[in-house]
Every structure is written in structure tokens, then in C-alpha cells.
Structure 1
Amino acid sequence: MGLFLLWFLFGFGIIIQVVYLLVIFGRTAFFKTPKTKPNSGEEEPVTVMVAAHNEFKNLKTLIPKLFEQDYSKYDVMIINDRSTDRTKRLIEEMMAIYPRLRSVTIKYTPDHVTAKKYALTLGIKVAKNDVILLTDADCIPASDQWIRKMTQPIREKNKTFSIGYSGYEQAKGFLNKWIQFETLQTALYYVSFGLWKSPFMGVGRNLCYRRSFFMEVKAFKDLWHIEGGDDDLFVNKYATGKNSSLVLDPEANTWSKPKENWKEYRIQKKRHLHAGKYYRGEDKRKIGFYTISHALFWIGSLGLLIYFGIERNWEHFLLVFGIILVRSLLLLGIFSSASKKINGSKIPANILINDFLYLGYFWILGSVSHQAKNIQWK
């Protein structure tokens, strides 16, 4: 009975894994960028918006980069959210250099709302333009075409949401290699399903929507009490296959500074994973089917290898090992191709090791985050 159960777990797991890798993630891996003709009409104005809390150092780098964009009509709005460092003075100095730089200062946050949602709401309310392009203070656009390409679906295709990718800068060390893998894994979920016209999340480091829509749905109504989720939960609630578009172009990406120690990373991911509990049921299943099959595959395969090793049944041992090897090669191929399509770079290092470690990461940290109550932005 025990052997049958192991074979069942292993077989069910590998079937679902292959479906996800080839059919769903393959949508990203085999994606072909459609040829688009440049719009000869007048460019619609855009407001780039950044909510910042004590981000003096990052804003000093970001603001000049934002004004290097190859786009004729845009302004930049920095929301100074209760900063106690030199953020306010920096913004004033930068406004003298860049006339299209604007600012809103948040002095306090009401008790019944969460900080970043409140800051973004006030900033969006006073924005001059209807097209809002969001990013974070620690992000840098990948190219001077960022504004043009991220806003194109909204300006030219009448979409409500334009969902982009934001990666993390590469650095030395195992933590950074893990961050690169986990970021790519997450992107494969929302990019692939987005390309299947079934979007369920986006990242606030690279997200675009219309101000008029934001005001129409009354901002973050029903989401105020949740810390985080100003990006993925907002997209999860309102994005559809008809009103949304995925922008899969390395020139439309942004790059963020990664966490440099495990404590900061754990706090960040705890916030991200906590928001997932509020996804729609069907969207939870999109992630759940893969993670469950991933767990069943590894539990079943390791159990069978141990059993056949003890029994010295080398024929079946090699069969199981061969299936693991084939699945590993498939994983490498899909992730490698997807990485090039998403961010224009090669596959993250240690991907097979990290794929195995993902088993503990999702089920342990995910469970802790699901039950957490002390979630904060900054």
C-alpha cells in the first residue's frame, strides 16, 4: 500500500508539473513578440508616480533617471510619505532642476487605512494626467523606452491595466541567487496566465492604469485594511483578460535593489505572501496546483528512491531517477527560455537546487505569512 501511494504521488505530481512547464509556463518561454507599428498620433500625457518613505538615497539616483525617458509628455510625482530624512529637501532641490517634477507630502496616516494605499490614493487624486505609471523609489527603468512601452497598451489599445516585470539587480551570494530564482518563478505565474488572458496579479514596481478607473472604483475600496496589496490585490480584483495587457519586453522592465540579508528578505516576502490569502479562489488554485504537484513530485520521488535503494531494486531506481532527470532538463529549458523573454538575461544560477528548496520556502514561509498579523509597509 505504501509503495502504491508513493507511485501515485510521484505520477500525479509529474503529470501536473509537465502540464505547467510545457503548456502554461511555455506560454512565456515560447512567446514571440508581436510586431507593432509606432503610433504616429499625438502622445497622451503620462504621470510617473513613486510613493517614498525615507528614500533620500534611492530618490537621488531615481529622479534623474526618470527624466532621461524618451517620451515627450510626462511628469513625475513623488509622494513624500511621512519621511524624516532629507527626502523633502532633495525633492525641492530636484524641482528646481526638473520643472516636470511634482510632489505631495503626507504628514500622517489615518488609523483605519494602510500607509502606502493612503499615500498612493492622495497622489493619484491630484495627478495631472489620466495615465498613471507606478514604480518604487529603489527601482530604475531598464531603458529610456520604459514609459513608452509600459503605457502603450493603455494609450493605443484602450486597456485599463498594463502589467510589467520588475527584477532585482544581480549580486554575489546565495541570497541573491535565491531572489533571482524566486522572482523568476513568481513572474512565470503572473506573466504566463496574463498571456493566457487570465491575469491575476501585478507588481507595483512596474504597473500602469488609468486614474479615471482608479477613481471610478473608489480607489482601494474593500482593501484598506490589508497591509500591502496596493498592486497585486488591486489587479486581482479588477483585471480581466479583456481590460489588461502583459508587457513582455526587457526594455519595459524596471530593476530593483535586492535585500542584502535574510531578515529583510523574510519581512518583505512575508508581506507579499500574506496578500495572497485575499486572492480570488480561482487565482489561488492557479498557484496551488503547481505548488501541490511540486510537493507531491519531490515527496514521491525521494520516497521511491529511498525505497528502491534499500530494496536494491536498481531497475526501478534508475527509472525514477531518469524521470527526475528529464523533468530537471525540462525545467532548465523552460526557465532558461522564459528568463531571456522576460528580462533578456540567462537563467539564474543554482536553479535546480533552488527548485528543491522552493518546497520548504512556499509551505513554511507561506504558512507563517498566511497567519501573520504584524504586517507593515514601512
Structure 2
Amino acid sequence: MKTGEWKSRFQKPWIIAGPCSAESEEQLLKTTKAVSALGVEVIRAGVWKPRTRPNSFEGIGLKALEWIQNIKKEVNVKFITEVASAQHVELALKHDLDMVWLGARTTVNPFTVQEIADALKGSYLPVLIKNPVNPDLALWMGAIERIANADLHEIGAIHRGFSSFRKSKYRNEPVWQIPIELKANFPHIPLICDPSHIGGNRDMIYDISQKALDMGYDGLMIETHPDPDNALSDSKQQITPERLDEIKGKLKIRQTTSDNVLFKTRLEELRNKIDSVDHDLIETLSIRMKLIEQIGEYKKKNNVTIFQLERWNEIIRTRPRWAEALDLRKDFIEEIYKQIHSESLRNQTEILNKQKP
């Protein structure tokens, strides 16, 4: 997949800011002028708002596109909005939008993504693609590939977090490993973090933003509104332009590497030690799985069910406790053992269903 180096046009970190929704021309102009004065080159503004339930504010639509056209004559900025259908694309192109993004609910549907890709073909419009609602890397990659196959090369990805059934401090769980894997597959496209949607709370925006930049993200998309508490959508996660300025000033921009010889030597030593420890970890896991296979055979011989609730409760109670005694986070170890347990059940299921030759 060919993608241009268009991200080099923007100063890193590339910050996109603006309201969740364009609510009035006055509100949009006020926000645009305020964030533009902070050096923000691209303004986000929701025109169509896909809502989970009906009877909520669903955006202004066509009228808001006309506001954007008027504002661009007055302020030298670019505008980006979400498109969720081929009709949205046609209207965005007609009203001179500079960029568009595909939302999480759109990315999850390959049919819709393909229709949008077909509508964009020949336009050369930059497209940013948000991760799908659920943690599915293949769907995210597929959406990027469909847009690329429409001869569009100015493509970026937006990480806005994933829905989860678990109780969490986040509105959408970041699941950082998925965007890292996406970056490994598509290293040349910009990766933008949307801390507003990940946190769902304006107080979390700085911490999430800093973590994203520390992990090598290319930019941030931050919802900004002149009066967040009275916003018509996502009021809790929007910030004022003044707060955006504070966050921009606090963010630390780190190098991807260092030319310091001592640093490189020491880093190599530590990585070699990690490689050795990882080898031991994998050997230990292999030994554990062989023991699981023996247990599976023993259960099959005695006609016993695979899943044993009491044993699982014992494991999930004791292992995190052991970890805490060694200064490891309880939640971290719980997640590891859930994955180990899932693989153990899979192995035992294969043994139970294996037919004698």
C-alpha cells in the first residue's frame, strides 16, 4: 500500500482541535479563531453526528457546511469533518472540506467503507480513519486498505479507544497494543490519538495525550468548545481553548532516539537482558502448557469437565496477590492469566474432542 509522506507538512505533534459538533456559525467561528491563534492548522467540526439512541442532537447537517465555507474565507485554516455515507462525501466535496474522517461506527462496516471509498475516488482528499468500535485490528486495517485502493494516498489513522463490557475509568478502553500493531503494519501513515473519546472526561485529556506522544504518535485530535458545559454533544469531554493552550504548553515532545553512544550501549545491554528473560518466560509457558495437556488427558480419562470454577477462582485470587508482593500491578497479572487460562481451555478442548486413531 502506497501512502504519501504528507504528515511531514504538519508540525509534530500535529494537533487537530475544534468542537464535537458545529452548533451555530457564531460558536464555530469563535472556536476557530481561538484555536487558530494557538497555532492549530486543522479544525474539527462534527456536521453529522451518529448517535447511539434517537431523539439526541444529530448535528446541523448541510447548513453547517455552509458555515464552514464562510469561516474559511475569514480564517486561514483547514476543516475536517466526519462522513458516514457516500452522500456525506459528495456534500463535503461540494462544500470544499479539506479533509474527512471515518468514525468508529463506520469503520466497523466494510460495505459502508467501500461505498465511501468509491465516492472519494479521484478526489485526492486526505482521509483519517478511526478504529472500529470493538477491538478488531483486521477491520481497522481493512478500512485503511479500502481507502488506499481508491487511489487515495493521504491517509491517517485515529485511535479513539474501544468499547468494553468491563467497568473502566475510560469512556473507551485504549487497548494500546492494537494501534501499536497497526503502526507496525502501516509505518508511513500518521497515527493520531483522540484523548477526548478515550477518556470521556476533560480531566483525563492531558495524561492520555502525553502517553500517546511518549509512544510515538504523530498527533492529537482534541475536542474544544468555548462553553463546554453547555455543548449540545459530549459536553464532559470537551475543553476550552484556554485549557487547550495549557495542555499544549505542558506536553513533552521526546526524541525517537539519541545519538549518545553511552545511551545506545546501555540500552543494548538492557535489551539483551530482556531477550534472555523473555526466552526463560517462553520456556516456562511451554512447561506449563505441557502440564495442562496432562491435566486434559486425565480429565478425559475420568470424564470430567474442562472448566473448574473453584480452581479458576483460586488462580485469579492468588496470582495477583503473589504479583503485588513483587511490585507488579494486580490488573496486569490478571489480564495475563486470563489469556493463559483461555489458551489452557482451548488445549484441553482439543484433547477432549480428539478421536482415537
TM-score (norm 2): 0.29
Larger Rg: 2
Larger RCO: Structure 1 or Structure 2 (Cα < 8 Å, ≥ 6 residues apart)?
1
